[in-house]
Amino acid sequence: MSLLSALTNAIVPVLSVAAVGFLLGSLRDIDVGGLGTVTIYVLTPALVFHSLMTTSIDGETAVTLVAAVVAFTLAMVVLAEFAGRLLGESEPTLGALVLTSTFANAGNYGIPLSQFAFGPVGRSTAILYIAVQSVLMYTVGVYLASRGDDTSGFGAIREVFKLPLVYAVLAAGLVRVLGVVPAENSAAMETLQLTGDAAIPVMLLLLGIQLANTDSGAAVARVGVSNAMKLVVAPVVAVGVVLALGFADDTVARVFVLECAMPAAVTPLILTIEYDSGPETGLSGPEYVSTAIFASTLASVPILTLLIAVLKSGAVV
């Protein structure tokens, strides 16, 4: 299988499910708010909880990777916030720009791509990356998404502790430390996997539905900076983090860089829908995010093809 074929196989399923959502949103009036709430409170926590309990990455490597994801995320938030304010953006567009510049589609796009490029280590690294990013997305991301509405400051931070994902991560860590992880073929694990697996298609359907209600012409003109931050600046920042932290495993380091360079994640769309304060003059947060996801996914094909070739050659890390 060629590299281009692998990229196509990773992208086409994503765009296909989103296209179904787009068609549905074009034909019917869908309440995306309710679907978003179900995803945040049930589906995503199950996905991350199951992934954390089944990952095979050793402790030392995991600690380095966790530190790298945190450092990368905070660096991108600062850079994107600076770029947005320099351009004169205001809420909710500013928060949407930072979200889409920072958080990568490391799951339904990143896992298969990382596994094809780097084998089992690629898959394990991608899963752990998702777990750490999910915590940051439902902490830092919730703050960024909610600060533009009636919730601000400490109120936005308090919103984080209303979400179950943080507690799901802590519970998964405790279960692993105590050595009481259920067998993978047990009813409990199969139920968790079934529930978590539903998160990805539901998020993609939500993306398509939101795109059906987006003024793409106005939005596309505004997401260029976000796309450049996500696909060009992000991998450069990731390489800097790798060099600063000194990964012991070169393959894990390369997968980390690849995951950081993925197009904009779908989950920020769920967050902006959840905290959208209603119709406003100009571009809404969900409109900005949905267009940035769509545009960055399409633009990522040639960029990621080149990046994988560079990473596998060992020319960078």
User: Which one is predicted more confidently, 208 or 260?
Assistant: 260
Q: What residues contact residue 151 under an 8 Å CB cut-off, 6+ apart?
A: 159, 275
CATH architecture of 3-313: Up-down Bundle (1.20)
Which pLDDT value is given to residue 154? 61
Please state the pTM of the whole predicted model. Answer: 0.82
Mean predicted lDDT score pLDDT of the chain: 85
Which pLDDT value is given to residue 190? 94
**Per-residue pLDDT band at 1 (split at 50, 70, 90):** very low
Which pLDDT value is given to residue 270? 84
Q: What residues contact residue 302 under an 8 Å CB cut-off, 6+ apart?
A: none
**Per-residue pLDDT band at 298 (split at 50, 70, 90):** confident
Over range 139-152, report the average pLDDT: 74
Does residue 317 surpass a pLDDT of 60? yes
**Per-residue pLDDT band at 113 (split at 50, 70, 90):** confident
Does residue 53 surpass a pLDDT of 60? yes
DSSP for residue 56: -
DSSP string, 95-160: HHHHHHHH-B-TTTTHHHHHHHHHHHHHHHHHHHHHHHHHHHHTTHHHHHHHTTSS--THHHHHHH
Q: What span, in angstroms and rounded, lies between the C-alpha atoms of 81 and 83?
A: 5
**Domain range annotation of the chain:** 3-313
Which pLDDT value is given to residue 44? 86
Q: What span, in angstroms and rounded, lies between the C-alpha atoms of 124 and 110?
A: 11
- Read off the pLDDT of residues 155-212 as tens digits, 9 standing for 90 and up: 556 666 777 877 888 898 899 889 898 998 999 999 999 998 898 889 889 888 877 8
Q: Angle at CA 54, nearest 5°, toward 48 and 55?
A: 85
**Per-residue pLDDT band at 101 (split at 50, 70, 90):** very high
